[in-house]
Structure 1
Amino acid sequence: MRTQRWTTTLAAALGCLVPDVRAQTGSLKDLGSLLASQKNLTTFYSLIQKYPQILFQLPSQDGVTILAPNNDAFEKIPYTELNAAFANNDQTIITNVLEYHILSGSKTAAQLIPGAPVFIPTLLTNPSFSNVSGGATVENVKQAGDVVVFDLEFNGGYVQVIDSLLIPPANLTTTIESFNLTSFEGALYQTNKLTNYTTTPNSTIFVPQNDAFQALGPAIANMTTDQLSAILDYHLIPSQVLYTPNLTNGSTFVTANGGKITVRQGGNNLYINSAQLLNANILIANGVLHTIDNVLNPAGPDALPNPQIASQGPVFASAERASNLPFTSAIPCTSSCPVSSVTSASASVTGEGVAATRTSVRSSATAVSSSSSRAGVARARETGLGGVGLVMAVGGAVLMI
């Protein structure tokens, strides 16, 4: 049941009430009045007015944190995967993208610990765009910097201004292609596992880099389909979305093939069995992906890393470097193809899913403070500590508040 607070918020956001509602809300403005007062948020405010159904989803108890792209952020749309959707006024995609900018609960920069990522669920729960429980997440990280961060408070939560649109996580196929993990992709095609890995909800997938497959050569390329399937399933943890804060030293997890992997820490590095974690917390539509420097071997779960060396050796007998990347020939042709070839299974920005590269999601941004908040238009709480200042990377795209 929605409270009167959100009835007021919705009406004000739609322009149905006079701007001054302080008599009803005390010293804080409602969301509509706050957005209307921020001159750098006019495009975002107009979208909220155009698609008011988003506001009906706002929780009535714990509040929300709204990551509001500034006007300049919308100028970047022609250079992103969202160009066609916004040009064609695709209501489904636009509303789902806007939902990805609304975090559950009132979050402030002061609540974050520098260097410790926090993964916060959003209101994006449409299964066509998000296949994780509780809603698609964004990654929020506080970093050291010399800029003071402000949270713009309204009656029901906080607004934080960002300089790029957050693009919801892409599906697995798009993501592994963006990170050039083509041997793993080809192995999924060769074993007919791509659909399963893409559609299984709440998945954690450890993906070896191409060089790891090439280092094995015939030791993996000559495997039967069943043998290769078992290897791949040892890289998938179903029913758990494990971000790096969950990967603590000594923790173990059961994989899709029934085996166990062990997380180990050596210095500042994390290892899965003996494979080093290279690129962590890559958000995908159905969970999270981490890249590693070695192919995991279910027959050698006790393999230990050597933190003194930069690259870990293969854990397969008879490994021999191949001249070509294994399994890539199994990937369907996507350009200059014969007429009879199969087209790519990669999703595009359609109602079936928002395809976006992780590079786009993690676009860099500069932290700034709202000039109107400095002028007292909205009550802003300074969260800089001792003048050090804060910079927050949010969701992938990076925060500029």
Structure 2
Amino acid sequence: MRSYSWRGLLATSLGLFAAGTNAQTGTTDLGTLLAGQKNLTTFNTLIQKYPEILLQLPSYNGVTILAPNNDAFNKIPYSSLNDAFKANNQDVITNVLEYHILQGTHLAAQLVPGTPTFIPTLLTSPEWSNVTGGQVVQNIAQAGNVVVFVSGQGTRSTLTQADLKFTGGVVQIIDSLLIPPTNITQTTQAFNLTSFEGALYAGDKINSTSNTKDVTIFAPNNEAFQVLGPAISSMTSDQIAEIMDYHTVDQIVYSTGLTNGTKLLSAQGENITIRHAGNNVYINSAQLLQADILIANGVIHMIDNVLNPQGPGAKPNPAITSQAPVYAGAASVTNLPFTSDIPCSTKCPVTATPSSSAAAKATPTSTSVFTSSSKGVGAPMARETGLHAAGLMVALGGAVMLL
């Protein structure tokens, strides 16, 4: 009803929230707090425009609002959120706003340096989040009292002002918008994991891997596939499917759960073993290169070797920097195996005969902020805060949650 002002809706929302909250963190209401922060005028205006976000607050026992400052919104024209914000796309904007509200009250002052935390948000819509309990943001305290947030596409945002308490929660001011995690195809392209993506298509596993809820994926980098060459690229679709299943675990395991000696049951049926040696972490004999890449339905960990379900007992040799392939007949090649299996979606060359049957296969149905453009080379690795390249999936930020 238009007769209700936003402030009335906000007062009702926060009034109910305060009444149902066991422990209030402050005595200032949210509207007053935001109005008093000159660097949050854009965010304050936006949530006035979409008050339904705040009406959810009474359902939660305390919240943490990651509020992008005015400079963060100035980056939108150079990001993949630009079209949605220009068009006032309510579905995109409200879901992005929900991703900025953490369940529970989390203070930056309580963070343990170096220990990542993964906190669920209010983003629970199935078309945006295929994980139990709400899509998460990663939060970590780094050296020099720097608090960083990491979200979709590995994008990063930094905390600029911490622990502003209001009745029923706390506001943390950040320097970039958070990007909800995207599906597997968009994420593998952003991290240059195109051989792994192509192998999912070649094994007809792209849909099941993309759409299964709560997954952990150990994704070998492109070099891991190159050193195998024909030892894997000559396999049948069923053999490749078995290998892809061996890289997938049907539960979410973040880096904090990759403890020494842990065994994880893969979707293929054989166990995967986690081993530690010094500062290195190994998945069977493959070294962990980059952990905790958030995706719409779980998390990806990048590794430097292709796991072999026929040799689940493979162990690393920590004395050497590069582990040997675990496939007989491995021979290094210069091309990237399986990238031709990725269906072309934009600017596709016209050829007399199809280069791969994969183009006829179904593609993932998961939706996201981004539009996918399949290509064999892939996009750059995870980006830091800021807009280094206008366009593509330049991130407005990622978020790490506050404990």
TM-score bucket of the superposed structures, by smaller chain:
0.7 to 0.9
1:211-242 deviation digits (Å, cap 9, x = unpaired): 1111111111111111111111000001x111
Contact 1:219–1:316 at 8 Å: present in 2 too? yes
Partner of 1:170: 182
Equivalent-residue separation in structure 2 for 1:140 and 1:134 (angstroms): 17
Of 168, 188, 203, 1:191 maps to 203
Equivalent-residue separation in structure 2 for 1:345 and 1:33 (angstroms): 50
Partner of 2:392: none
Where does 1:116-127 land on structure 2 (aligned, <5 Å)?
A: 116-127=115-126
Partner of 1:355: 370
1:291 counterpart SS class: strand
Report the AA paired with residue 144 of structure 2: G
5+ long unaligned stretches in structure 2: 1-6, 16-23, 147-159, 373-378, 387-395
Equivalent-residue separation in structure 1 for 2:279 and 2:220 (angstroms): 20
Partner of 1:137: 136
2:52 counterpart SS class: helix
Task: Give the 3 Å change call, closer, same or farther, for CA 359–245 of structure 1 in structure 2.
Answer: farther
Task: Give the 3 Å change call, closer, same or farther, for CA 118–103 of structure 1 in structure 2.
Answer: same
Q: CA deviation at 1:187?
A: 1.0
Among all aligned residue pairs of Structure 1 and Structure 2, give the percentage whose two residues are the same amino acid: 59
Where does 1:33-72 land on structure 2 (aligned, <5 Å)?
A: 33-60=32-59, 62-72=61-71
TM-score normalised according to structure 2 size:
0.81
Report the AA paired with residue 88 of structure 1: A
Equivalent-residue separation in structure 2 for 1:285 and 1:212 (angstroms): 25
Task: Give the 3 Å change call, closer, same or farther, for CA 395–134 of structure 1 in structure 2.
Answer: farther
2:343 counterpart SS class: coil
Report the AA paired with residue 234 of structure 1: Y
Where does 1:110-121 land on structure 2 (aligned, <5 Å)?
A: 110-121=109-120
1:52 counterpart SS class: coil
Where does 1:195-206 land on structure 2 (aligned, <5 Å)?
A: 195-206=207-218
Q: Is 2:85 aligned against 1:86?
A: yes
Q: CA deviation at 1:287?
A: 0.4
1:86 counterpart SS class: helix
Q: CA deviation at 1:98?
A: 0.3
Equivalent-residue separation in structure 2 for 1:355 and 1:71 (angstroms): 23
Q: CA deviation at 1:124?
A: 0.2
Q: Is 2:287 aligned against 1:276?
A: yes
Where does 1:226-375 land on structure 2 (aligned, <5 Å)?
A: 226-238=238-250, 240-338=251-349, 352-355=367-370, 363-364=384-385
Report the AA paired with residue 222 of structure 1: S
Contact 2:228–2:332 at 8 Å: present in 1 too? yes
Task: Give the 3 Å change call, closer, same or farther, for CA 189–282 of structure 1 in structure 2.
Answer: same
Contact 1:347–1:353 at 8 Å: present in 2 too? no
Q: Which moved more, 1:57-66 or 1:353-362?
A: 353-362
Partner of 1:373: none
Over the residues paired in the alignment, what is the CA RMSD in angstroms? 3.0
Report the AA paired with residue 40 of structure 1: N
Q: CA deviation at 1:352?
A: 3.2
Contact 2:190–2:382 at 8 Å: present in 1 too? no
Q: CA deviation at 1:195?
A: 1.2
Q: CA deviation at 1:345?
A: 8.0
Q: Count matched residues.
A: 354
Task: Give the 3 Å change call, closer, same or farther, for CA 44–26 of structure 1 in structure 2.
Answer: closer
Task: Give the 3 Å change call, closer, same or farther, for CA 61–127 of structure 1 in structure 2.
Answer: closer
Partner of 2:236: 224
TM-score normalised according to structure 1 size:
0.81
Of 174, 194, 197, 1:182 maps to 194
1:53 counterpart SS class: coil
1:250-271 deviation digits (Å, cap 9, x = unpaired): 0001001111000000111111
1:363-386 deviation digits (Å, cap 9, x = unpaired): 437xxxxxxxxxxxxxxxxxxxxx
Of 218, 222, 225, 1:213 maps to 225
Equivalent-residue separation in structure 2 for 1:354 and 1:347 (angstroms): 14
Task: Give the 3 Å change call, closer, same or farther, for CA 149–161 of structure 1 in structure 2.
Answer: closer
Task: Give the 3 Å change call, closer, same or farther, for CA 62–399 of structure 1 in structure 2.
Answer: closer
Contact 1:363–1:397 at 8 Å: present in 2 too? no
Task: Give the 3 Å change call, closer, same or farther, for CA 362–126 of structure 1 in structure 2.
Answer: farther
Partner of 2:10: 10
